[in-house]
Amino acid sequence: MKTTKTAKKIKTPDVNAHAKKVTLEMVASACGVSPSTVSRILNGTAIVSPKKREAVDRAIAALGFIPNPVARGLAGGRTLSIGVVTQAIDSPFYGVALRGIEEELGTAGYSPLFVSGHWNADEEKRCIDVLLSRRVDGLIILTGRLSDEALQRVSKATPVVVTGRNLSAPGLHSLNFNNFKGAQLATHHLLALGHRRIAFITGDPGHPDAIERMRGYRTALKAAGIPFNNALVLPGNYLEESGQMAAERLIDSREQFSAIFAANDQMAFGAALALHRRGITVPDDISLVGFDDQAGATHCIPPLTTIHQGAYELGRIAAISLLQMLAGEKPTTVMQEPRLVIRGSTRSLLTP
């Protein structure tokens, strides 16, 4: 348990060692220029003679000066902090996105401020107000329920990147995953394996992506010339329990089916459990496909065939976009296309 690695540091060179706050004024006087000049160099606000610039840079390095974000914020400059509105900080899906955001922002010197909106427009609004009062330089909003108008209003004053929408405005960039195509892919996969009676567990109808996934399912079915059967569509709300209940209801309905496509992995897990409890084996008896490819999908039993959505990449891309906006550029980022990941929960009916 020896923390050798930390102890190893005996001879702290200089930088660290609980530096007593170096201020901008100190570096200014240290090299005989005015604070304004130092500030200008720091922010690239104006051009200063190479001579002084160099002197100041040197002084900054020598003194180990770090601008105080709080003071900057008050003075109306940047705070180097970004507000991130997620829906639940412990969401298995968004959690990974947060990591992506944190990473990308971190390397750019920004700190994220995470808040949870809990899928509630009012709460979301409040979160945003708090973030704004903390003078964040920008906002990343992961989906959420806020109205598009409210979002656009916010974006007038602060750059915003939002996922799960198709909006566009001067200070607003939106990133949308192709849920439709993803659902098509999933359904098509089952069809290709010879399944004809494919049940679908829907997501929360309050989420636009749930609707898109449903549409993808129907479209793929149609393309294969299979009539839509409403009895095979079960309502869900993206949580495990709802997947479990849906599967139970499906079994009890005595409707024939050889496969289930759940609108997200969590419901797929729930469905798998329900099937298991009824003595139905995945994939031998029933094939199962999820959506999202969240962490657990790799290690569940059987490993889940699903649509990979790359939450991590989503987070990174959102962060990069915002950084670009902050730099005055137009975001050039694009979302990954959905990708089918075949694991062990689906089986072909064609080659028995």
For residue 219, the tally of other CB atoms under 10 A from its CB is 16
Q: How far is the CB of 96 from a second copy (least distance, A)?
A: 5
Q: How far is CA 324 from CA 138, 161, 276, 293, in A?
A: 11, 11, 48, 28
Q: How far is the CB of 33 from a second copy (least distance, A)?
A: 23
**How would DSSP label each residue in 137-174?**
SEEEE-S-S--HHHHHHHHHHS-EEEES---EETTEEE
Q: What residues from 64 to 123 belong to the interface with DNA (CB under 7 A)?
A: 65, 67-68, 71-72, 74-78
Q: What residues from 108 to 127 belong to the interface with a second copy (CB under 8 A)?
A: 111-116, 121-122, 125
The contact mask relative to a second copy for 183-212 (x = CB under 8 A, - = no) is -----------------------x-x--x-
Is position 135 an interface residue for DNA (rule: CB under 7 A)?
no
Q: How far is CA 22 from CA 30, 60, 75, 249, in A?
A: 11, 9, 18, 66
Helix (H), strand (E) at residue 214? helix 208-223
Q: Which of 92, 171, 194, 235 binds a second copy (CB under 8 A)?
A: 92
Q: What burial class does residue 97 get, using C-beta atoms within 10 Å of its C-beta: 0-12 exposed, 13-18 middle, 19+ buried? A: buried
Q: Which of 23, 39, 68, 229 binds a second copy (CB under 8 A)?
A: 68
Which span (1-9, 16-24, 208-216, 315-323) binds DNA, by CB under 7 A? 16-24
The edge-to-edge listing of strands for the beta sheet with 111-116 is 111-116, 81-86, 138-141, 160-163, 172-175, 168-169
Residue 202 binds which of a second copy, DNA, none (CB < 5-8 A, kind-dependent): none
List residues near a second copy by CB under 8 A. Answer: 1, 3, 5-7, 16, 18, 66, 68-71, 73-74, 79, 81, 88-92, 95-96, 98-99, 102, 111-116, 121-122, 125, 130, 133-135, 145-147, 150, 153, 206, 208, 211, 240, 244, 266, 269-270, 272-273, 276, 295-296, 298-303
